[in-house]
Chain A
Amino acid sequence: MIEIINVHKSFNGQQVLRGVNLVIPKGKITVIIGPSGCGKTVLLRHIIGFVKPDIGKVVVNSVDLSTLKRAQLNNFRSHFGMLFQSAALFDSLSVFENVAFPLREHKGMKNEKEIERIVHEKLALVGLPGIDEKMPSELSGGMRKRVGLARAIVLEPDIVLYDEPVTGLDPIMAVAIDNLILSMQQALSITSVVISHDIESAFRLADQIAMIDKGRIIECGEPQVFRRSKNPIVQSFLSAGNAAMQKGERK
């Protein structure tokens, strides 16, 4: 379980998070939605410990991240996998080496046969067998995201963080990535936190949806409860999302 307790954060005098409180249940998918620039990614970066809160704390599996020293935090990060918005594959390494990287660096694995077996298993899980030798520059956006996902789950983490996993993808690929997140959720029972501003994707994935606006959580609940929210900002965000979907369908 992840508990975000009264987290405040500002950068260069600009307040980004203003007292965020959120509980992310274990083994479920929580989708955090909100308009661009509202602090979603900053919140995600707090969860993995890239950023320390000015006030408040982030507690992951009963451990307060702000109390950990750098080396302890590094070790603790083996609980996490993260899919970055741009996939963040290492340009100079092949697909195989990218996926094998956490095994070699974090786990210190030396057995090449075992590394090969795990990498092939994870690439098959994301539907990309047989692309070991390709370089990231040879992959499409969707393939890069899937390789990024294989790398994120290669250490079999308890928690996977997804930073806008479907942004920039065509609708078919977006659905494919969503299905992949769902199937991995079912296969590995991991706690997932998904950052998104895609309403359709959020309702497809979520066990719980939280909306952040101007640095605060303004609504949080199961999808059905969230849809019935009386908060005007939530309703306006939902109706804007629905209008965009209908416009797309008409086109």
Chain B
Amino acid sequence: MERVINIISPVLTPLGIFVIEKTKALGRWCCFVGETLAWTFRPPFRSVQLFQQMEFVGVKSTWIIVLTAFFSGAVFALQIGKVYSLFNMEIMVGATVGLSLTREIGPVFAALMVVARACSSMAAEIGSMRVTEQLDALEAMAVDPIQFLVVPRVWATVLMVPILTVLYDFVGVVGAYLVGIYVQRISEGPFLTKLYYYVDPDDFWSGLIKAAFFGFFISLISCYQGYTTSGGAEGVGRQTTKAVVISSVVVLVLDYFLTSWILEYFLK
């Protein structure tokens, strides 16, 4: 028996430690999410911080969204137009781009832009507050850091990512329209008719539902990474990178599951 233990313990011990550590990490994450949700409904409500964060996440991301949306719509129209011209289907370019933007590209790219511009900043800001004892100072003054810093950021992102998605969809379609009509010389009438015909309000709403979910998770992940920072400036850099990488991956993974859920129940 002792021999068997000697053989398996070098394998099982690290595995056990790994499982325990991951379970603990999962527990800490669940507590963080739970506290964020609980503090959402407890006074005092931080409306000033909420509006400040809405400005930071939403208003200040406007130009980057306009720029990326215009060119992604334009390049998409260019590629699709090239392929569709082989089948004389150029008039479907508007509808294809419109469907892709409203259902997938709009919410996903808007969320990724918010990750890159705002969520990285959230992780870095909260992380540097952690390592310079500012979060402890908040607690010493009886202010809960989750309530004061995390809750306004999370709900501001949940509200603003869908609004940025609307902007992304609109500007993307404008980009596709300009390329389709003025570069590929597609007739304006059929282009717009097919766009109106194939793109339903349900497509648009399904994109906005996804965007709200993306906003919730990317802001929570980024705040959590900042909140759990340790190890000085190096730690802040490490957690910021983790926040961006994990949030980006989560957007793409979550997109698959949300899409299958929406296709199953809403866009039959």
Interface pair A88/B136, CB less than 8 Å apart: yes
Contact of A84 among B128, B136, B143, B144 (CB under 8 A): B136
- Shortest CB–CB separation between residue A37 and chain B, in angstroms? 16
A107 to B132, CA, bound (A): 25
Which residues from A are CB-within-8-Å of B129?
A: 90-91
Is there a chain B Cβ closer than 8 Å to A74's Cβ?
yes
Task: State the interface size on chain B (CB cutoff 8 A).
Answer: 13
Is there a chain A Cβ closer than 8 Å to B86's Cβ?
no
A89 to B137, CA, bound (A): 8
Interface pair A77/B133, CB less than 8 Å apart: no
- CB neighbors of B among A197-248 (8 A): none
Is there a chain A Cβ closer than 8 Å to B141's Cβ?
yes
A74 to B134, CA, bound (A): 16
Q: Which of B141, B142, B144 has the most CB of A within 10 A?
A: B141
Contact of A78 among B134, B139, B142 (CB under 8 A): B142
Interface pair A105/B140, CB less than 8 Å apart: no
Closest to A75 in B: B142
Which residues from B are CB-within-8-Å of A48?
A: 140
A84 to B136, CA, bound (A): 9
Which residues from A are CB-within-8-Å of B137?
A: 82, 84, 88-90
Closest to B141 in A: A102
Which residues from A are CB-within-8-Å of B139?
A: 50, 77
A106 to B148, CA, bound (A): 13
Interface pair A105/B133, CB less than 8 Å apart: no
Contact of B134 among A77, A81, A90, A102 (CB under 8 A): A90
Which residues from A are CB-within-8-Å of B144?
A: 74
Taking A82-B137, A90-B137 as contacts, is the C-beta distance between A105 and B143 under 8 angstroms? yes
Which residues from A are CB-within-8-Å of B132?
A: 86, 88, 91
A50 to B139, CA, bound (A): 8
A242 to B125, CA, bound (A): 42
Interface pair B140/A82, CB less than 8 Å apart: yes
Which residues from B are CB-within-8-Å of A89?
A: 134, 137
- CB neighbors of B among A32-86 (8 A): 48, 50, 74-75, 77-78, 80-82, 84-86
Closest to B148 in A: A105
- CB neighbors of A among B101-139 (8 A): 128-129, 132-134, 136-137, 139
Is there a chain B Cβ closer than 8 Å to A101's Cβ?
yes
A91 to B140, CA, bound (A): 17
Interface pair A85/B133, CB less than 8 Å apart: yes
Which residues from B are CB-within-8-Å of A106?
A: 141-143
Contact of A88 among B133, B142, B143 (CB under 8 A): B133
Which residues from B are CB-within-8-Å of A80?
A: 140
Interface pair B136/A50, CB less than 8 Å apart: yes
Interface pair B136/A105, CB less than 8 Å apart: no
- Shortest CB–CB separation between residue B18 and chain A, in angstroms? 15
Which residues from B are CB-within-8-Å of A90?
A: 129, 134, 137
Which 5 interchain pairs have the tightest Cβ spacing?
A88-B137, A74-B142, A88-B133, A84-B133, A82-B140
**7 interchain pairs, CB-CB under 8 A:** A48-B140, A50-B139, A74-B142, A75-B142, A81-B140, A85-B133, A88-B136
